[in-house]
Amino acid sequence: MSQKATFAMFETMGGARVRRIPVEAFPDFWAYVYLVQKEQYRVLIDTGSGTDTSHENLLSGLKQARIEPSGLTHIFLTHAHIDHFGGLAKLHPLTSAKIGCHELDLQTVAHHEAHYAWVGRRIDSFLAQTGLADETREQALSIFRFSKAIYQSVPVDCTFESLDMCHGPFEFLHLPGHCPGHVAIRLDDVVFCGDMVIQGVTPHLSPEWIHPYSGLDHYLDSLTQLEHWGKAARCFFNGHNAVITDLPAQIEATKQNILRRMSKAVDALHNPLTIAEVCRAVYGETGGYQQLLTIEKTGAYVEYLYERGMIVITNPGDVEQGQPARYQRLWDQTQTIAELEKKILRYTYIQEGI
């Protein structure tokens, strides 16, 4: 979010104190870190990005809460995206708090340099398959490499799996899709849901082609899991904006946003198009970081449509020669959208039947 975020305090039904600390993760892009105090626990949920500004914001938020970094008992990560875990690198030397993340995010947090070298190769190969011009591709990759410059690997003390998905009063639910190791953390009657649902924003998705356990299929499934698991919760604290009190409505809005974007893609796909061409049809001309985000999102949508048999590859001979695939829809617009609506909204129908 680009609006200035605000410090706030909440109390759970079980008497835990939650402080919401705003950090400017990147210029004009704010994120929330949460400090939770309950019994002997002083837990930080996420850490900001680790830029100098983000780190200063985090330290001043802790100071406002009268907690020293050395007084933290645990740091739990909702997921390994740089705006949420990057702050560990600067925080780690100041604290002996136990650091926990999901095992599918372990390589990103604890073996960052090697893992990013590997992921970078996969992004490069994905971008080459999208048909994006070489120059634009290079720009998009350089943005990805930027995060390497602000983070150095930090050892993880425990994965949530090793804790059997709970620790003291904290419970964890694995929600892959937006990020392979994304989790929600439940405490009393509140849930910390990271980037799973954010008001007015469709969370970023990248194709499973790049990161296993990401992509639209996993994300939709995770929305259903969260809705079910969070049924009794009163508040959902996310990583970027206002507290969510009506989760089903927020999930419905998120699904409608995805459907709207995908309808544009399906409309364009009456002609055989590369992923880069579909991206342009859906998002228009973009550049820099936006280019990387939009091409990854489009890749996730096209991957879903292809895996679900709604589009086909029209140039198998070219693909065999290493050229980008061109995709085209199998049915007309109305039938394809009707099928998509059924698939994307179907989990809601199942839940209503329970």
Query: Which of the stretches 232-240, 261-269, 279-287, 330-338 binds Zn ion when contact is defined by CB under 5 A?
Result: 232-240
Query: Which of the stretches 1-9, 236-244, 266-274, 289-297 binds Zn ion when contact is defined by CB under 5 A?
Result: 236-244
- Single out the residue of 81, 167, 297, 329 in contact with Zn ion (rule: CB under 5 A): 81
Which token pair is 174? 């694995």
- Dihedral sign, CA of 248, 254, 260, 266? negative
Judged by beta carbon, residue 81 or residue 112, the one nearer Zn ion is: 81
Supply the minimum distance, in Å, between the C-beta of residue 238 and Zn ion. Answer: 9
Q: Which of 56, 166, 127 is nearest to 293 (CA)?
A: 127
Judged by beta carbon, residue 240 or residue 329, the one nearer Zn ion is: 240
Judged by beta carbon, residue 32 or residue 301, the one nearer Zn ion is: 32
CB of 56 closer than 8 Å to CB of 94: no
Q: Which of 188, 162, 173 is nearest to 36 (CA)?
A: 188
- Single out the residue of 61, 180, 239, 299 in contact with Zn ion (rule: CB under 5 A): 239
- Binding residues with Zn ion: total (CB under 5 A): 4
Q: Which of 27, 162, 191 is nearest to 100 (CA)?
A: 162
Judged by beta carbon, residue 84 or residue 137, the one nearer Zn ion is: 84
Asked if 171 interacts with Zn ion (CB under 5 A), we say no
Supply the minimum distance, in Å, between the C-beta of residue 213 and Zn ion. Answer: 14
- Single out the residue of 57, 69, 78, 83 in contact with Zn ion (rule: CB under 5 A): 83
Judged by beta carbon, residue 38 or residue 81, the one nearer Zn ion is: 81
Q: Which of 150, 175, 17, 163 is nearest to 88 (CA)?
A: 150
Which token pair is 14? 């079980």
Stretch 111-150: interaction string toward Zn ion, x if CB under 5 A: ----------------------------------------
Stretch 180-199: interaction string toward Zn ion, x if CB under 5 A: ---------------x----
Q: How far apart are CA 292 and CA 284, in angstroms?
A: 13
| Count of other CB atoms within 10 angstroms of residue 56 | 14
Sheet bearing 41-45, strands edge to edge? 8-11, 17-26, 29-38, 41-45, 74-76, 98-101, 158-159
Judged by beta carbon, residue 81 or residue 102, the one nearer Zn ion is: 81
Give backbone dihedrals phi and psi of 262, rounded to 5 degrees, phi first.
Answer: -70, -30
Supply the minimum distance, in Å, between the C-beta of residue 83 and Zn ion. Answer: 4
Judged by beta carbon, residue 83 or residue 105, the one nearer Zn ion is: 83
CA 264 remoteness from chain centre? 22
Q: Which of 16, 91, 11, 13 is nearest to 50 (CA)?
A: 91
DSSP state of 69: G
Supply the minimum distance, in Å, between the C-beta of residue 196 and Zn ion. Answer: 9
Q: Which residues bind Zn ion (CB under 5 A)?
A: 81, 83, 195, 239
